[in-house]
């Protein structure tokens, strides 16, 4: 894009507020480049970006244009007035401009003749997915930037099954958006009859909560004396999580400072459960109340994390891979004991998930299907078998980044389902005199020790973006033959959908859409996967190493350091 031309176009447009023009005039050249070098793009979690004026920013102009295009896409997908009658559900989190963007999108859809279901206040991502299904909508919108910093916001789009649009559908939607004039010139096509605006409230909440409660495996467990600290990280899950936990008799102690719906995230150093800083205040609460467990949902309520009290009295966090593997083992083992594990069951994970979850599921006779990063692929697969009227029975789905789903009445990650099951699992082991660390150690002994970790490398701004693209292009063109002195046994290139073995033999990767991802399988059983983030300006490195327990951490660090060095970074 022509940065200078677009910058001046915004400064001279009557549709841009004087406040935004003042912000633009005060930007440095580097900031101008970042705000205008491209249009904000859809990634693995929908559209997500920094708030502010500019084509590469999230603002009323970019959100409005996307809303018109999405509405046109839904009308084409459900013609003859079906989209208008089915309607669309919209929700939002606690972030700056979230309510304003929600009302803007609702107004545009109404003006285009489409019924809109809008919550009376913020609600979580999983409840938005549920609402789409509950109301029989043709689509949904969630205004959120998930766990990103406070200066971000975003726009996630959903299909009629409550699943985020997969790439093939996003491409169809983008054709409508791309056909529109630019974000300062588009117009809203006015329908002859305006759509109805319907407010959703507690009745929808209660239907969702009742289904969440049904994911329990052992609701009869004695909860007396078992204390749980809960933080919603200022986000949308607070009311729902507390309602579910309280009705089931759990002793839940909320981190009150982080229960305020504060867009500044004033009482947390990070809203991301994967970051250690996010845990400072919840762990202080845990120590104060001598709680056995700490659970956390992110701002839009689709991810969760947990920390347990060990026999040493200290609190220890589990990664998304570790907690998911433990939960898979708990759910499947208990269902098998009770004779309620379906004979033809399936578990879904991703190509960057640890191999442990897969091995655990397979040990119970459960088949496993792996997808690209993005829970939409898991939700879509559930819908695929649903439409076919036959196929395996879904029993669990997860991503390594603290996202999982136990029951498919929702088609996205569900943090409340997750923290309820994690709490039950911790209580189950507690009654046996075992902490979660000991349970995970037992799992490792059964399946072999391994360590899965993830590293980030940021590429900020226009120059960083170009550097990141060059890095990935070079790797696709000439992938590594060895990493840290270990031969690469095979490499999977998901952009060309080709698996190449050490001897030069190739085979097609079937069933996955093209994506800018490479995964290296090393001769010693280690793996390294590299992919650009779909939501932030960074590259993610997913590393898994196997071997002796005491050597795993050093081995993973060495593998990463040597790989980055070989790239010349």
CB atoms under 10 Å from CB of 197, counted, come to: 15
Handedness of CA 201, 207, 210, 211 (dihedral sign): negative
Note whether 124 and 92 are within 8 A (CB): no
Burial class, 503, CB count within 10 angstroms (exposed 0-12 / middle 13-18 / buried 19+): exposed
Residues facing 528 on adjacent strands:
520, 543
Note whether 72 and 186 are within 8 A (CB): no
Give SS3 for 515: coil
Helix or strand run (H / E) with residue 457: strand 450-458
- Cα 390 to Cα 88, 163, 377: the distances in Å are 28, 19, 18
Beta-strand relationship, 367-371 and 345-350: parallel
Nearest alpha-carbon partner for 292 in 247, 239, 331, 253:
253
Note whether 221 and 427 are within 8 A (CB): yes
Phi, psi values for residue 555, rounded to 5° = -65, -45
Phi, psi values for residue 352, rounded to 5° = -105, 5
Note whether 233 and 268 are within 8 A (CB): yes
Helix or strand run (H / E) with residue 233: none
Residue found under tokens 């655990």 = 360
Residue found under tokens 């700490």 = 294
d(CA 173, CA 159): 11
d(CA 421, CA 427): 10
CB atoms under 10 Å from CB of 387, counted, come to: 9
- Locate 42 and state its tokens: 């859809």
d(CA 37, CA 463): 10
- Locate 263 and state its tokens: 């867009």
| Length of the chain measured in residues | 569
**Alpha helix stretches (DSSP H) within 97-221:** 98-111, 125-134, 167-178, 202-213
- Locate 330 and state its tokens: 């708990």
- Locate 107 and state its tokens: 């107004």
Which residues have CB under 8 Å from 380's CB, separation 6+? 163, 166
Q: Is 146 a catalytic residue?
A: yes
Catalytic residue among 91, 146, 237, 353: 146
d(CA 497, CA 517): 10
d(CA 40, CA 47): 7
Nearest alpha-carbon partner for 295 in 164, 111, 303, 349:
303
Residue found under tokens 């689509």 = 139
d(CA 7, CA 12): 9
Burial class, 5, CB count within 10 angstroms (exposed 0-12 / middle 13-18 / buried 19+): exposed
Active site residues: 146
């Amino acid at each position: 894009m022509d940065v200078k031309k677009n910058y001046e176009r915004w400064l001279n447009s009557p549709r841009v507020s004087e406040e935004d023009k003042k912000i633009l005039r005060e930007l440095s050249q580097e900031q101008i480049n970042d705000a205008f070098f491209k249009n904000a793009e859809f990634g693995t979690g929908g559209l997500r970006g920094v708030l502010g004026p500019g084509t590469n920013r999230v603002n009323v102009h970019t959100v409005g244009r996307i809303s018109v295009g999405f509405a046109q896409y839904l009308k084409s997908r459900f013609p003859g007035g079906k989209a208008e009658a089915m309607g669309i559900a919209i929700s939002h989190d606690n972030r700056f401009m979230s309510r304003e963007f929600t009302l803007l999108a609702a107004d545009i859809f109404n003006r285009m003749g489409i019924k809109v279901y809008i919550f009376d206040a913020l609600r979580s991502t999983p409840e938005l997915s549920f609402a789409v299904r509950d109301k029989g909508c043709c689509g949904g919108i969630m205004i959120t930037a998930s766990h990103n910093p406070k200066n971000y916001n975003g726009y996630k789009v959903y299909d009629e099954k409550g699943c985020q649009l997969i790439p093939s559908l996003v491409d169809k939607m983008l054709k409508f958006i791309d056909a529109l004039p630019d974000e300062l010139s588009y117009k809203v096509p006015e329908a002859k009859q305006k759509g109805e605006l319907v407010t959703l409230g507690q009745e929808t909440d209660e239907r969702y909560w009742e289904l969440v409660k049904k994911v329990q495996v052992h609701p009869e467990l004695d909860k007396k004396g078992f204390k749980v600290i809960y933080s919603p990280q200022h986000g949308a899950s607070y009311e729902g999580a507390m309602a579910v936990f309280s009705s089931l008799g759990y002793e839940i102690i909320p981190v009150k400072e982080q229960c305020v719906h504060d867009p500044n995230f004033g009482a947390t150093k990070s809203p991301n459960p994967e970051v250690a800083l996010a845990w400072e205040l919840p762990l202080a609460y845990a120590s104060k109340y001598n709680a056995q467990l700490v659970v956390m949902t992110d701002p839009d309520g689709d991810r969760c994390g947990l920390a347990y009290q060990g026999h040493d009295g200290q609190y220890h966090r589990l990664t998304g891979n570790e907690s998911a593997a433990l939960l898979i083992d708990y759910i499947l083992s208990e269902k098998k004991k009770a004779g309620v594990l379906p004979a033809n069951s399936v578990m879904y994970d991703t190509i960057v998930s640890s191999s442990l979850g897969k091995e655990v599921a397979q040990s119970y006779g459960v088949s496993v299907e792996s997808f690209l990063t993005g829970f939409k692929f898991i939700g879509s697969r559930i819908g695929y078998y649903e439409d076919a009227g036959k196929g395996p029975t879904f029993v669990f789905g997860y991503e390594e980044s603290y996202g999982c789903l136990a029951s498919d009445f929702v088609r996205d990650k569900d943090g409340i389902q997750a923290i309820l099951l994690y709490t039950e699992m911790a209580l189950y082991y507690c009654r046996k005199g075992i902490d979660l660390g000991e349970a995970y150690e037992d799992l490792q002994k059964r399946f072999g020790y391994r360590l899965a970790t993830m590293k980030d490398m940021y590429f900020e701004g226009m120059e960083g973006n170009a550097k990141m693209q060059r890095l990935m292009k070079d790797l696709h063109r000439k992938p590594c033959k060895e990493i840290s002195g270990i031969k690469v046994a095979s490499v999977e290139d998901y952009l060309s959908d080709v698996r190449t073995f050490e001897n030069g033999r190739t085979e097609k990767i079937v069933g996955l859409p093209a994506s800018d991802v490479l995964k290296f399988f090393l001769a010693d059983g280690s793996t390294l996967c590299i992919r650009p983030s779909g939501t932030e300006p960074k590259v993610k490195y997913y590393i898994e190493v196997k071997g002796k327990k005491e050597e795993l951490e050093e081995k993973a660090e060495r593998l990463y350091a040597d790989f980055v060095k070989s790239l010349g970074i």
